[in-house]
Structure 1
Amino acid sequence: MIKRMSIVASMMTVGLVVAGCSADEETGQAKEESYIIGLDDTFAPMGFRNDDDELVGFDIELAEAVAEDIGVEFTFQPIDWAMKETELNGGNIDMIWNGYTITDERAEQVAFGTAYMENSQLIITLEGNGIDTKEDLAGKNVAAQQSSSAVDAIESDPSNIIEEFANGEVVQYPSNNEVFNDLITGRSDAIVVDETLGRFYMNQNPSDDYKVLEDNFGEEEYAVGFRKEDDDLRERVDQSLEKLMNDGTYEDIYDNWFD
C-alpha cells in the first residue's frame, strides 16, 4: 500500500511538473511574437555593419524602438536587395525596412506603411570631369545599385536621359560600396545614390574630389514594406511610428545619425 501510494505520488509530481512546463512554454510562445526584417547590410547609415560586424544604423534603432513599443521581437536578415520583394512574398522575411523607397512599381507587390523619411536621388561625380548638370551625363558611364530606387528614378526620368548614357544603360552593382568604388577608380563618370547614403558615405570618406550636382533624379519617401495581407502588423507598426514621432524618440534617433 505504501509503495503504491509512493508511486502514485511520484506520478502526480511528475505530471504537475510536466503540466507546469507546458503552461510556461505556452505562455512563452504567446508572449514571444517575432518578425524578420529583411535589409541590405551595406546601406549606411540606414542599416549596415560597423567595424565589430554588428548591425547598426538609423533604421535598426528605429525598428528596435518600435519592437519595444508594441512588445514584439524583430530580427534582422541580410538579403539580396534585388530579391527583396520575392523574399517578402515568399515568407522568408516579414518586412522590408532599410531605406525602402515608395514607388508605384513596388506598390504592386507590397503594402507600404506610412512614410517616415524624405530622400532624394543625388548625382555625384568628381571635380574636373566637366559634368555640371544632368544633361552633361550624355555619353557618360553612370552607375547605381542594382534594383534600387536610383535605377527606377533614372529609368522613369521624363527627360529620358538614360538613352544618352554610354551604351544607353545604367551600370549596376550589387552594393552601393561598389558603386562608389566604380566612381573613385574612374570606371564610371557619375553615380546616382540615395542622399541619405551618399552624404553619409562622403562624410565617412572625405575627399575634395567629390562633387554633388544641383540637379537630381527626384524626391522620394522611405516606408516599411509589408505583405499585402498583413494589415494588422502594418497598422501596429504605423501607429507605433506615429507615437515615436510625437514623443521625441524618432527625433533622438534621427539626430544620432544625421545631426
Structure 2
Amino acid sequence: MKKRIVFLTTLIFLVGIIFSGCGQSKNGSDSSWNDIKQKGEFVVGLDDSFPPMGFRDTKGNIVGFDIDMAKEAAKRMGVKVKFKPVDWDGVTLSLKNKDIDVIWNGLTITDKRKQQIAFSNVYLQNRQIIVARKDSNIKTKKDLSGKVVGLQLGSSSEIALNSDSSTKKSIKEVKKYSNNTEALLDLKEARIDAVVVDEVVGRYYASKKAGVYSILNDNFGKEDYGVGIRKNDISFKNKLNAALDSIKKDGTEKKISEKWFGQDVTSEK
C-alpha cells in the first residue's frame, strides 16, 4: 500500500513538472516568442473606427498610425501581422482568451489595466488638448471662461476636464457628443467655441482641415500609450520592445507620425 502511495505521489509530481514546463522554452523562459515564430504572425486586436490610430479607409482597408507601427514592428521581428477588429468593451478578455496576441489601438496605460495585462514600453504620449477655430480669441485655458466647450461623452477628455475644477466651473456649458467628429464639425460651424479632445485625434483632423482649427499650448494633462500584452508573454514582450525601440531610434516612428499628423507628435513633451 505504501509503495502504491509513493508511486502515485511520484507520478503526480512528475506530471506537474511536465505541465509546468509546457509554457517554457529550452532556456527556461516562457515560450510566447517561439509560439509566435512558429505561427509566423501575431494578431492585433483593435477598434477599427478610431482614426487616425486604426480605422477603415474608403476602400475598406484597415489603416492608421498604429497599423503602420505594428507592420513595421512585425517586419523587424521577422514575422507578419494580422489585424482583427474586436468589441472594445471585451478587448481585454479577447487577449486573455488568446483570440488576439496584443491590443494595439491607442491603448492608455493605467494602473487598473496593469492589474489584468502587461504593457510594452511607452511608444507615444497623448495629451488632452484644446482645439479652437483659427479666427477665435481663445488662446489659453482661462479664455474658456463663459464659453461653450464640446467633448466626447465618456471619453478621457471628459475625465480630464472634470479633474480641472477651476476651468470646468468657468465654462458656460459643456456640450457632449457621441463622437469627436461631430464635436469638431460643430466647432468648424461655430456652434461651439472649443473642443477638448485626444491630441492624436485633434491633430489628425487639424491636418486634414488646414486653416480651420487652432491647437492651444495649454492642455489638460498627458497619458502614455502602450501595446497591451498577456502578463505571461515575457519573451514576446521583450522582442516587441526591442522592435519599438529601434523604430524610434532610427527615425521611422517620426516619419509615420508626420504621415498621419502632419508633424512629429512622438517626442516627449
Once residues 129 and 250 of structure 1 are traced to their aligned partners in structure 2, the CA distance between those partners, rounded to angstroms, is: 33
Structure 1 unaligned blocks of 5 or more = 1-28
Contact 1:179 1:191 in 2 (8 A): yes
Name the CA distance, whole Å, in 2 between partners of 1:65 and 1:116: 13
1:27-74 alpha-carbon deviations (Å, 9 max, x no partner): xx9732443322333433332322322222222111011112223332
- Report which stretch shifted further, 133-142 or 47-56: 133-142
Is 1:53 equivalent to 2:57 in the alignment?
no
Of residues 211, 217, 220, the one that matches 2:214 is: 211
Taking the aligned partners of 1:112 and 1:56, their CA distance within structure 2 comes to 22
Q: CA deviation at 1:127?
A: 5.6
Residues 44 and 83 in structure 2, CA contact (< 8 A), matched pair in contact too: yes
Aligned residues: 227
Give the match for residue 144 of structure 1: 151
The residue that corresponds to 1:9 in the other structure is none
Aligned counterpart for 2:119 among listed residues 112, 124, 149: 112
**CA deviation digits over 1:111-160, x for unaligned, max 9?**
22101123322111336666443244456543334554333433434x46
Q: 1:200 to 1:163 in 2, by over 3 A?
A: same
2:241 to 229, 238, 243: 238
Between the aligned partners of 2:160 and 2:200, the Cα distance in structure 1 is 15
Report if aligned partners of 1:141, 1:188 keep a CA contact under 8 Å in 2. yes
Percentage of identical aligned residues:
40
Q: Which residue of 2 aligns with 1:26?
A: none
Q: RMSD over aligned Cα, in angstroms? A: 3.3
SS at structure 1 position matched to 2:60: coil
1:199 is paired with a residue of what secondary structure?
A: helix
Q: What is aligned with 1:183?
A: 187
Instruction: Name the stretch that deviates more: 96-105 or 125-134.
Output: 125-134
Aligned counterpart, 1:19: none
Check conservation: 2:109, 2:223, Cα contact below 8 A: yes
CA distance in 2, matches of 1:109, 1:147: 22
8 A contact 2:120–2:241 mirrored in 1: yes
TM-score normalised by L of structure 2: 0.67
| Pair 1:204–1:127, CA change in 2 (3 A) | closer
Determine which structure has more spread, i.e. the larger CA radius of gyration. Answer: 1
Which of 239, 253, 256 aligns to 2:256? It is: 253
> Do the aligned residues in 2 keep the contact of 1:34 with 1:73 (CA within 8 Å)?
yes
Q: What one-letter code is carried by the residue in structure 2 that aligns with 1:243?
A: S
